[in-house]
Amino acid sequence: CITKHATGRIDSPPIEENVQHARELVRAGAKEIRVTGQDTGVYGWDRNQGESLLPELLEEICAIPGEFRVRIGMANPYGVHGVRERLAEVFAREEKLYNFLHAPVQSGSNPVLRDMRRQHTVEEFREMVAAFDRYLEEWTLATDFVVGFPTEEPHDHERSVALLEETTPEKVNVTRFSKRPGTDAADMKGLGGQIKKDRSSELVERKMEIVGAAHEQMVGQERSVLIVEDGTEESMVGYDRAYRQVAVPGAERAGVELGDVVTCEVTGHNTVYALGELS
């Protein structure tokens, strides 16, 4: 991966500095705070002897008075794994946090992960997911897979499919491998385009089955939804506590505004998002 060459060493601002930024945003009327970085999972490694301070940062932000929600950006599994129990416990306790984690696993095969020079193992990814499953009744896992890496054999791809089905991420970015100058893989003999296309299609198909099933389970339930954007015609779009997207037809006509938190009954879904009716 070329990312480290572009981003350089970890440089984490102090917790107090980040909290002050969040406090200013809340005072200005923000209803959604996004904690972002190249890799939020390693936040604080440079200040805390190689252990993430992300749980402490989230606690401090959630302690700010006001009605708002907090979403954390992408966190690589190796950073989250060391604090997985503590982080999952914070998610379970803090109602302002979206129960959502984006942790890119990239492959279900340890040999391929080693060839990619990823710093985590499949087992660590599983342990991370299991910790969140223990603490949270409902949450959304997002992840990434790269298909068609030069050393990916058919059985490696099968392991990726199996991991997808086991951990059931509802948001999945599937990328076909392409060579990047300056990486070891740039000099490797690549797989054929049809192989990469077929493997990508299989993962996407399985993903759609998973997300469709998750939204089907929501039908008939009431959800608290933070409205964050306008939809088509008079609909508006928001997210529930598990960061599942809910479109609310007629919300604009009913006087709903951006930043409002509304209660909806889920009446159906369009596979990738739910449909809600104002209660």
The verdict on 15 and 142 lying in the same domain is: yes
- Write out the H or E segment, with its range, that includes residue 216: helix 193-218
The verdict on 150 and 42 lying in the same domain is: yes
Edge-to-edge strands of the sheet including 171-176?
100-102, 140-147, 171-176
The verdict on 56 and 167 lying in the same domain is: yes
Total tally of structural domains belonging to the chain: 2
> Residue 86: its pLDDT value, please?
97
Q: Low-confidence residues of the chain, pLDDT below 70?
A: 1-8, 179, 181-190
> Residue 24: its pLDDT value, please?
98
- Model-level pTM? 0.91
3-state class of 140 per DSSP? Answer: strand
The verdict on 175 and 48 lying in the same domain is: yes
The verdict on 51 and 136 lying in the same domain is: yes
Residue finishing a domain among 192, 218, 244: 218
> Residue 170: its pLDDT value, please?
96
Integer Cα distance of 37 and 54 in angstroms? 11
Residue finishing a domain among 182, 198, 218: 218
- Per the CB < 8 A criterion, the answer to whether 97 and 61 are in contact is no
Residue finishing a domain among 190, 218, 246: 218
The verdict on 200 and 236 lying in the same domain is: no
Range of the structural domain that residue 9 is part of: 3-218
What pLDDT digit, counting tens, does each position of 54-106 carry? Answer: 999 999 999 999 999 999 999 999 999 999 999 999 999 999 999 999 999 99
Helix axes 54-62, 84-93, angle to 10 degrees: 10
- Per the CB < 8 A criterion, the answer to whether 149 and 177 are in contact is yes
On the 0-12 / 13-18 / 19+ scale of CB atoms within 10 A, 194 is exposed
**CATH number for the domain harbouring residue 257:** 2.40.50.140
> Residue 144: its pLDDT value, please?
98
> Residue 5: its pLDDT value, please?
46
The verdict on 203 and 227 lying in the same domain is: no
How many other CB atoms are there within 10 angstroms of residue 155's CB atom?
9
* Helices and strands: H and E segment counts in the chain: 9, 10
**CATH number for the domain harbouring residue 150:** 3.80.30.20
- Per the CB < 8 A criterion, the answer to whether 206 and 169 are in contact is no
The verdict on 72 and 92 lying in the same domain is: yes
The verdict on 191 and 88 lying in the same domain is: yes
Query: Rounded to 5, what percent of the chain is helix, strand, coil?
Result: 40, 20, 40
Integer Cα distance of 279 and 274 in angstroms? 15
Residues 6+ apart with CB under 8 A from 156: 107, 108, 109, 111, 112
> Residue 2: its pLDDT value, please?
43
69-72 and 32-35 as β-strands: parallel, antiparallel, unpaired? Answer: parallel
The verdict on 164 and 111 lying in the same domain is: yes
- Per the CB < 8 A criterion, the answer to whether 207 and 248 are in contact is no
> Residue 50: its pLDDT value, please?
80
The verdict on 180 and 110 lying in the same domain is: yes
Q: List the one residue out of 161, 200, 162, 157 whose CA is nearest residue 178.
A: 200
End-to-end CA distance of the chain: 48
The verdict on 198 and 237 lying in the same domain is: no
The one-letter amino acid code at 212 reads: G
